[in-house]
Amino acid sequence: MELVARRVSADEGLSHTFEGFVRDLSSERLLREQAARGERMEALGRLAGGIAHDFNNLLTVVVSGVHLHRVAKGIGEDEDLDAIEMAADRGMELTQHLLAFARRREERAEPVDLREVARDQSRMLTRTLGDGVWVEVSPQAEAGFVRGDRALLTQVLLNLVINARDAMPTGGCVCLDVRAEKTQAVLTVSDAGHGMDAETLAHIFEPFFTTKESSGGTGLGLATAYGLVRQMGGDITVASELGEGTTFTLRFPRVEAPETAARLASDRPPATLERTRSGRVLLADDDARVRGVTRKLLERMGFEVHTAADGASALERVSSPAERYDVVVTDVVMPGMDGVQLLTRLRERRPTQPVVIISGYAAPLTEPARLAALDAELVSKPFTPERLLSAIDRARGVERA
């Protein structure tokens, strides 16, 4: 509150008349707090993007190294190498969760098995929630597929499960149930915590509303979950009473299952990629480890590979009249001239040059519209050799059986 007073008159008897104004500053304070929180979230988003970029570079070295080892030793199926690849896949999924939380990744809508998401996350979350809290999935869980972004869906589930954990300070079970209801797939997240009163329920999905200020709650977890569910065409409701626990119910339109939900065998290629291509490749990446292992992959495919450690060096090489490359493969995030700036400058000099962009953190530099305008293929790190090779073929306009 702000109080302002002033004297407006005085008579000969020395009596005084004052007028005062009282102004409620609550809304202004709320706006300042929201602006400060927004700035913190923006800073968190930038940090998340940097972490994802560096972590995906490390995963690229791991995934590519596994493939090179398979080829060098003539190994097909191998339990230890398979475990390394699965761990790398899990690491990539975690970076997607991080970017989804910070809203720094583009939505990728595809058919997602709701039961599979619930089961996968139940195992991971039980290990991370702490002692006394565990996650269980109904053994009869079955709902079919929904259309959405798996990383965003798991982020929603993570937010709801963490909320359930915080509601049970003495521990307990967070129960997940997945079922089909006519044309909808339904996921429920239930806890046996302290519950909520009617007033709290009325504000539970509002941004910055929190009942956990003393423990550092931001009031963004459930608001984020609500926004992501609606973004995927779904709906989220909550039922709760004090002392009776809480149940969040998510409903999504069901879709047909994809033709195959299994990972393609070609994602784990044997030595058949050896010397199957030819041509000159310019590879630009500021990470020496990624540059080295990607060069080895391309050379094993049959390409003659030249490298550059930054965008400026790559532009100098490709602009030389004496140099001609069949394809340019470039990272996005590089010091000085980044990959998109390199591509923009390159298009001014050689409009038809085939280009493949590889990146551990593409957004917001590589929005689909911008990529289409620049006529470039995009491969996200960590990539398999087959995915990289397919992108190179598409960029070159090569049709392969």
pLDDT digits (tens, 9 = 90+) for 203-255: 888 877 776 655 445 566 788 788 888 888 899 999 999 989 999 999 999 99
185 and 318 assigned to the same domain: no
> What's the whole-number average pLDDT of the chain?
80
285 and 353 assigned to the same domain: yes
CATH of the domain at 147: 3.30.565.10
Nearest-angstrom CA–CA distance, 144 and 111: 9
158 and 227 assigned to the same domain: yes
Going by pLDDT thresholds of 50, 70 and 90, the confidence category of residue 400 is very low
Higher pLDDT, 151 or 394: 394
- Residue 57 inside a domain? The answer is yes
- Residue 17 inside a domain? The answer is no
87 and 123 assigned to the same domain: no
In the numeric block, which tokens belong to residue 370? 């911008």
269 and 192 assigned to the same domain: no
In the prediction, which pLDDT does 317 show?
92
CATH of the domain at 306: 3.40.50.2300
121 and 246 assigned to the same domain: yes
Task: Decide which of 255, 273, 293 is a domain's last residue.
Answer: 255
- Residue 391 inside a domain? The answer is yes
Looking at the predicted structure, is the pLDDT value of residue 117 above 80? yes
222 and 113 assigned to the same domain: yes
342 and 310 assigned to the same domain: yes
- Residue 15 inside a domain? The answer is no
- Residue 221 inside a domain? The answer is yes
199 and 81 assigned to the same domain: no
- Residue 363 inside a domain? The answer is yes
Looking at the predicted structure, is the pLDDT value of residue 86 above 50? yes
- Residue 307 inside a domain? The answer is yes
Query: Rounded mean pLDDT of 359-375?
Result: 63
What percentage of the chain exceeds 70 in pLDDT?
78
294 and 271 assigned to the same domain: yes
In the prediction, which pLDDT does 374 show?
73
Looking at the predicted structure, is the pLDDT value of residue 115 above 70? yes
In the prediction, which pLDDT does 280 show?
95
Task: Decide which of 223, 255, 287 is a domain's last residue.
Answer: 255
85 and 113 assigned to the same domain: no
In the prediction, which pLDDT does 265 show?
37
Looking only at the bridges linking them, the beta strands covering 377-380 and 355-359 are: parallel
Domain that holds residue 233: 108-255
In the prediction, which pLDDT does 401 show?
39
Please give the tally of structural domains in the chain. Answer: 3
Higher pLDDT, 288 or 213: 288
Q: Are 314 and 328 in contact (CB under 8 A)?
A: yes
Task: Decide which of 51, 66, 91 is a domain's last residue.
Answer: 91
166-197: buried (b, 16+ CB within 10 Å) or exposed (e) per residue? Answer: bbbeeebebbbbbbeeeebbbbbbbbbbbbbe
In the prediction, which pLDDT does 253 show?
94
Nearest-angstrom CA–CA distance, 240 and 353: 60
Looking at the predicted structure, is the pLDDT value of residue 269 above 60? no
247 and 275 assigned to the same domain: no
pLDDT digits (tens, 9 = 90+) for 47-74: 777 777 788 888 888 888 888 887 777 7
- Residue 12 inside a domain? The answer is no
SS (H, E, C) the chain: CEEEEEEEEECCCCCEEEEEEEECCHHHHHHHHHHHHHHHHHHHHHHHHHHHHHHHHHHHHHHHHHHHHHHHHCCCCCHHHHHHHHHHHHHHHHHHHHHHHCCCCCCCCEEEEHHHHHHHHHHHHHHHCCCCEEEEECCCCCCCEEEECHHHHHHHHHHHHHHHHHCCCCCEEEEEEEEEECCEEEEEEEECCCCCCHHHHHHCCCCCCCCCHHHCCCCCHHHHHHHHHHHCCCEEEEEECCCCCEEEEEEEEEECCCCCCCCCHHHCCCHHHCCCCCCEEEEECCCHHHHHHHHHHHHHCCCEEEEECCHHHHHHHHHCCCCCCCEEEEECCCCCCCHHHHHHHHHHHCCCCCEEEEECCCCCCCCHHHHHHHCCEEEECCCCHHHHHHHHHHHHCCCCC
